[in-house]
């Protein structure tokens, strides 16, 4: 498989995980690359205008099992990707509307074992800020056969892992929600319906790093130096175990991308149940 590299002035240490608009346009005719917009609410944002060449997916329809609160089985994942025209060798590039839904798809694909999955830095926000046009034309790729790989369980955490981390001296738990959610004023995002869990608060000992403090105004990631200044006071050791969570894990995956792909942290797990699960479990400790 060809390796598509990127030299970024903002993130010069990266070679593959984070691509920019110039890279994307240079590879616009490369059939080994598939660009995907991930929408949070149906595909409304995609249908109103998207980056040329992008497929449009609704996050839950494509990335979750249709019945269980779980990811698609290996066979279902392979079937969905094959129908979308993606092989196991395809370089898949995501962007989200909003941005954290793109990193959620990146994380699910990493968990499901896809070999080459990347993020478009800044997504549609930065694309438009740079004066680039959107399109209403919808893209399609012919169906193919997708052969899956082993799942990467080491990047995912469950509630038992969180309970164990509460007693681990070296573990670091990071909360990437808003200040209102972290402090226990709300269980949902400010400006949205205040729903998502039965109890208010945070996981005991969790340190607060709001996901949006990792981004520039155009939704691109801050530089490695800026991210290090934010992360290092709370997680100084790049090899220490880190558990990231938010309300439903979307924002936590954005932090996971920054930690692993930009800063080089080696042991980061996303608690995908996040506060939606923890805040509704009988008997677990809660801090406010």
**What dihedral angle (degrees, nearest 10) is formed by the CA atoms of 90, 145, 151, 196?**
90
Contacts of 67 (CB under 8 A, 6+ apart): none
Separation CA 124–CA 271 (nearest Å):
27
112 tagged catalytic: no
Nearest to 257 by CA among 212, 221, 286: 221
Which is the catalytic residue, given 34, 112, 172, 246?
246
Is residue 90 within 8 A of residue 34, CB to CB? The reply is: yes
Is residue 97 within 8 A of residue 40, CB to CB? The reply is: yes
Q: Which residues are catalytic?
A: 246
């Amino acid at each position: 498989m060809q390796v598509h590299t990127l030299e970024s002035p903002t993130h010069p240490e990266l070679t593959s995980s984070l691509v920019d608009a110039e890279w994307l346009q240079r590879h616009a005719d490369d059939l080994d690359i598939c660009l995907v917009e991930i929408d949070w609410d149906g595909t409304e944002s995609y249908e109103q205008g998207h980056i040329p060449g992008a497929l449009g997916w609704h996050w839950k329809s494509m990335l979750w099992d249709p019945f269980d609160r779980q990811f698609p089985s290996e066979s279902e994942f392979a079937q969905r990707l094959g129908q979308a025209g993606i092989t196991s060798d395809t370089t898949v590039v995501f962007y989200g509307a909003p941005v954290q839904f793109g990193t959620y798809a990146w994380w699910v694909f990493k968990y499901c074992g896809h070999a080459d999955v990347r993020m478009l830095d800044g997504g549609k926000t930065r694309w438009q800020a740079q004066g680039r046009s959107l399109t209403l034309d919808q893209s399609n790729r012919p169906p193919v056969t997708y052969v899956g790989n082993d799942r990467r369980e080491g990047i995912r955490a469950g509630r038992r892992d969180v309970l164990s981390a509460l007693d681990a001296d070296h573990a670091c738990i990071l909360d990437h929600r808003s200040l209102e959610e972290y402090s226990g004023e709300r269980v949902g995002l400010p400006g949205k319906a205040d729903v998502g869990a039965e109890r208010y608060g945070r996981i005991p000992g969790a340190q607060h790093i709001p996901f949006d403090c990792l981004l520039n105004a155009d939704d691109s990631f801050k530089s490695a130096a800026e991210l290090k200044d934010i992360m290092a006071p709370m997680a100084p050791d790049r090899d220490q175990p880190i558990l990231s969570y938010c309300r439903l894990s979307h924002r936590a995956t954005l932090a996971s991308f920054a930690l692993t792909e930009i800063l080089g942290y080696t042991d980061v797990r996303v608690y995908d149940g996040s506060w939606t699960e923890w805040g509704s479990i009988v008997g677990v400790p809660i801090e406010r």
